[in-house]
């Protein structure tokens, strides 16, 4: 399908790519995983009849269709934008993608809204529901609520009826998170922030994190026995220890990725 792009969004991935932090990058392909556009034409008469003129959201990744645990074929999961084997990136006027890489754009979303949601939204969905198994009443902490994925996770978890706590570097972002339904929050720059937060939150079921660093130590302080850490990134560096205290507390660690591993 040939798509005329109406809106595209930037993702932290695009910055990491420019910093040479992702493997499998091809700089000759434009950046951009997320976009919304109008179908100009389909490559067969049937596709053309069905899709021409429709407003569509681009599905940012291919090669991960149905397995909840991980992509079906190792190394075959490809995200749009500066990736080897990806056909294009959304920071373009026109893109050509396979028909399975478009879905109808929900009419209630503006072009900008729909273009901002797919990759971060899908990561958040997998982190909250597939890996975190969050349901109504789950007590959940989302670290770094200023992040695109964290914010999407907050909206999804609140909609599901979870009790959500957040951390941030900014009081303003915590206040905004509360307006969006978070119960409480704390600056992650506070010494022993997890112990401080526990005074109001009590023990939690799930912790969603993409910072890494010493998150396991905080998880041991905050999570109930058998609780879950969901990791969807490691912004602070490519290693995060898992400690014996976490083993003794029978804490589970689950990975929720929708982009390739960072180097
Ligand atoms: N975006 C995606 O689709 C996607 C997909 C898979 C994986 N990831 C991974 O997820 C991570 C975040 O991605 P993003 O797109 O959400 O990035 P982003 O929008 O740039 O957000 C990054 C956030 O990280 C938070 N942060 C920084 N240092 C922290 C710390 N020490 N403790 C806790 N939080 C900290 C900050 O939160 P505050 O502003 O609140 O301080 C910041 O806003 C990255 O590692 C990325 O590789 C992203």
For ligand 1, what atom is nearest to the CA of residue 16?
47
Quote the ligand 1 centre to 233 CA distance (angstroms): 7
Across residues 197-202, what is the average pLDDT?
Answer: 98
Angle at 203 between CA 200 and CA 205, to 5 degrees: 125
pLDDT at 258: 66
Quote the ligand 1 centre to 168 CA distance (angstroms): 10
Give, in order, the Cα–Cα distances in Å from 238 to each of 102, 211, 241: 33, 10, 10
Over pLDDT 70: what percentage of the chain? 98
Give, in order, the Cα–Cα distances in Å from 197 to each of 97, 141, 166, 210, 216: 46, 10, 9, 18, 15
pLDDT at 86: 87
Residue nearest to atom 29 of ligand 1 (CA): 211
pLDDT at 63: 85
CA 3 to chain centre: 24
Q: What are phi and psi of 248, to 5 degrees?
A: -65, -30
Quote the ligand 1 centre to 120 CA distance (angstroms): 10
Per residue in 68-124, pLDDT tens? 888 887 777 889 999 888 889 999 999 999 999 999 999 999 999 999 999 999 999
| pLDDT band at residue 130 under the 50/70/90 scheme | very high
Is the C-beta atom of 130 inside 6 A of ligand 1? no
Tokens of 115: 């273009």
Quote the ligand 1 centre to 10 CA distance (angstroms): 13
Per the CB < 8 A criterion, the answer to whether 230 and 205 are in contact is no
| pLDDT band at residue 259 under the 50/70/90 scheme | low
Give, in order, the Cα–Cα distances in Å from 190 to each of 12, 172, 240: 25, 15, 20
Pairwise pLDDT comparison (257 vs 262), residue with the higher score: 257
Q: Strand 55-58's sheet: what is its strand order?
A: 94-96, 2-9, 34-41, 55-58, 102-104
Is the C-beta atom of 232 inside 6 A of ligand 1? yes
Calculate the average pLDDT of the chain. 93
For ligand 1, what atom is nearest to the CA of residue 33?
3
| pLDDT band at residue 220 under the 50/70/90 scheme | very high
Quote the ligand 1 centre to 188 CA distance (angstroms): 13
Per residue in 168-189, pLDDT tens? 999 999 999 999 999 999 999 9
pLDDT at 21: 85
Is the C-beta atom of 119 inside 6 A of ligand 1? yes
Give, in order, the Cα–Cα distances in Å from 117 to each of 9, 23, 261, 263: 9, 24, 21, 25
Residue nearest to atom 42 of ligand 1 (CA): 147
Across residues 240-261, what is the average pLDDT?
Answer: 86
Quote the ligand 1 centre to 34 CA distance (angstroms): 17
Per residue in 139-165, pLDDT tens? 999 999 999 999 999 999 999 999 999
Helices (H), the chain: 12-18, 45-51, 111-116, 118-125, 148-159, 171-179, 193-201, 215-222, 244-248
For the cut 50, the answer to whether the pLDDT of residue 261 exceeds it is no
Round to whole Å and give the CA distance between 188 and 166: 9
Tokens of 85: 């084997």
pLDDT at 148: 94
Round to whole Å and give the CA distance between 256 and 12: 16
| pLDDT band at residue 262 under the 50/70/90 scheme | very low
Number of residues written out for the chain: 263
Is the C-beta atom of 188 inside 6 A of ligand 1? yes
For ligand 1, what atom is nearest to the CA of residue 123?
5
Per residue in 13-70, pLDDT tens? 999 999 988 888 999 999 999 999 999 999 999 999 999 999 999 999 888 888 888 8
pLDDT at 153: 98
């Amino acid at each position: 399908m040939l798509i005329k792009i109406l809106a595209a969004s930037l993702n932290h991935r695009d910055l990491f790519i420019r910093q040479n932090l992702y493997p499998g990058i091809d700089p000759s392909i434009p950046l951009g995983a997320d976009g919304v556009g109008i179908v100009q034409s389909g490559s067969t008469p049937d596709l053309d009849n069905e899709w021409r003129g429709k407003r569509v959201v681009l599905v940012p990744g291919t090669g991960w269709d149905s397995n909840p645990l991980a992509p079906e074929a190792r190394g075959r999961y490809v995200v749009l934008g500066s990736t080897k084997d990806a056909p294009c990136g959304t920071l373009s006027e026109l893109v050509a993608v396979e028909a399975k890489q478009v879905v109808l754009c929900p009419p209630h979303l503006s072009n900008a809204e729909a273009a901002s949601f797919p990759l971060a939204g899908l990561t958040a969905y997998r982190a909250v529901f597939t890996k975190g198994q969050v349901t109504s009443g789950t007590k959940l902490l989302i670290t770094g609520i200023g992040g695109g994925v964290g914010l999407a996770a907050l909206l999804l978890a609140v909609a599901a009826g979870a009790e959500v706590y957040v951390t941030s570097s900014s009081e303003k972002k915590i206040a905004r998170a509360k307006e969006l339904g978070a119960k409480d929050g704390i600056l992650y720059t506070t010494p022993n922030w997890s112990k401080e937060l526990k005074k109001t939150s009590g023990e939690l079921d799930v912790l969603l994190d993409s910072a890494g660093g010493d998150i396991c130590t905080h998880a041991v302080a905050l999570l109930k026995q058998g609780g879950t850490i969901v990791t969807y990134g490691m912004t602070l560096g490519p290693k995060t220890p898992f400690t014996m205290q976490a083993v003794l507390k029978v804490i589970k660690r689950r990975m929720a990725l929708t982009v390739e591993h960072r180097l």
